Amino acid sequence: MKIREEYTCPLELTHDLTKGKWKPIILWQLGKGGKSLSQLEREIKGINQKMLLEQLKELRDYNLIDKRSFKGYPLKVEYSLTDRGKKLLEAVAIMQSVGIELMKENGMEDVLKAKGFLD
């Protein structure tokens, strides 16, 4: 994604950086700590490797996540949040809490329990 030359407000730019189904979920997963590509693939149900790599590249392009490579064989790569990514994670956490409230209101407690959001 390329940053446009004109935006109506800073929120529009931030929305462009994080829009889509996967980016907030990736940020949420990385908020739990650094993860390899295979860990992210396992933890994010429904995403394929090609899409995950595209989304990770875009998040890296805007300094929301970092990629660290370790020497040795097999090659190990770990993705983690940058300071900017951690700041944005605060907004994602608020979005998560609103989603939990809405799911409770709509009788979806069983889904929340199954996913570990409720005891």
Domains of the chain: total: 1
Helix (H) or strand (E) holding 22: none
**Cα separation of 110 and 45, whole Å?**
18
Instruction: Report yes or no on 101 lying in a domain.
Output: no
Instruction: Report yes or no on 74 lying in a domain.
Output: yes
Instruction: Report yes or no on 110 lying in a domain.
Output: no
Instruction: Report yes or no on 5 lying in a domain.
Output: no
**Cα separation of 101 and 86, whole Å?**
23
HSE at residue 65, side-chain half, CA atoms within 13 A, is: 32
The boundaries of the domain holding residue 62 are 10-84
**Cα separation of 104 and 12, whole Å?**
30
Instruction: Please report, in tens digits, the pLDDT of each residue of the chain (119 residues total).
Output: 677 788 889 888 888 888 889 999 999 999 999 999 999 999 999 999 999 999 999 999 999 999 999 888 888 899 999 999 999 999 999 999 999 999 999 999 999 998 888 87
- Please give the model's pTM, rounded to 2 decimal places: 0.85
CATH code for the domain in which residue 38 is found: 1.10.10.10
Instruction: Report yes or no on 50 lying in a domain.
Output: yes
